Amino acid sequence: MNETKTSGHVSATELPVNPGTQQSLNPPPTSTPPHESDLAAFQRLTGMDILNIRDSDLRSWLRPLLCCFPSRSPSTSTKSHTLPSAKTPPPDLAATNYGVYSRIVTAERAASVSYHWYKHVINILFLIQIVLPAITTALAAYSVTTKSPTAIAISIISTINIIAGGLLAYLKGQGLPQRKLLYKNQLERVRIDMEIRERQFREKDVRASVGAPATEGDKGLEDPATEAWKLEQQFLAAEKDEQDNSPDVYSRNATSVAAQKAAIPMVNHIKDAQI
């Protein structure tokens, strides 16, 4: 009995330890169980196995927002791995942890809706800026020729025109709608990269199941944990770019900070020389 305990203890301590786990900037170690395929591990780490956001119905399009209401349409996605505990949030969580894929899709669709909404509003404001001055000019000429009192109508139209001009200047000053379009395109690239990785892992598992040799694309794939970590960093970088490009935010890039740090010794040297 004592020998059995000792051997079990030694096998536990001899497990390989990844030194990169102690650094927050490094990707996490591979956490794929022995019985789990790379495809299932990648889907689990990105949240693509929990949410069926690739359905065609409207409730699936709004699933992150309508997660409290059950869907009436049957599921059509193929799920190779499911975490039942992840669908019901624990009491200490504020919301359900759907994963980075759901966050990317939700942010991309929100940016797309914002872009189209601001685009139509700005086009309407431009149209108002064109039409109302023409109407004001016509009313002024009509009042002169017919001696009709049109001062109130001209004042109302002029006020509406001034409000439209102010709103137009504010929205264009915020970089809209192009800022939302660029953010949406950046999120779309991250989502496409994630879906390409999923297909690559799927093809890799299929070739491994039939005994086919690995391709060059399979050799370029890293472990699922590293690939998921890279894609999450791309999503966080896209969010940071959106925040840094807000007109009311002043951000400093790494080049300017490094240049300032390099200039500090030179400034101190000049001060010492003047003394």
d(CA 220, CA 241): 28
d(CA 64, CA 90): 17
- Omega of the bond leading into 177 within 30 degrees of 0 (cis): yes
d(CA 209, CA 44): 20
d(CA 143, CA 35): 86
For range 9-26, the mean pLDDT: 45
* Cβ atoms < 10 Å from Cβ of 89: 14
Any residues with CB less than 8 A from the CB of 90 and at least 6 apart, and which?
none
- Of the ranges 92-106, 129-143, 205-219, 258-272, which one carries the lowest mean pLDDT score? 258-272
The pLDDT assigned to 54 comes to 43
Residues across the chain: 275
d(CA 157, CA 233): 51
pTM over 0.85: no
Using the predicted structure, report yes or no on whether residue 271 has a pLDDT greater than 70. Answer: no
Q: Which has the higher per-residue pLDDT, 72 or 222?
A: 222
pLDDT in tens, 195-218: 999 999 999 888 888 888 878 777
Using the predicted structure, report yes or no on whether residue 184 has a pLDDT greater than 70. Answer: yes
Share the mean pLDDT of the chain. Answer: 74
d(CA 138, CA 146): 12
d(CA 149, CA 75): 66
- Of the ranges 22-36, 54-68, 204-218, which one carries the lowest mean pLDDT score? 54-68
d(CA 229, CA 215): 23
pLDDT in tens, 190-199: 999 999 999 9
Give 145's pLDDT tier (boundaries 50, 70, 90).
confident
Which is nearest to 102 in space by CA: 144, 148, 54, 151? 54
Task: Estimate the share of the chain in helix, then strand, then coil, as percent rounded to the nearest 5.
Answer: 65, 0, 35
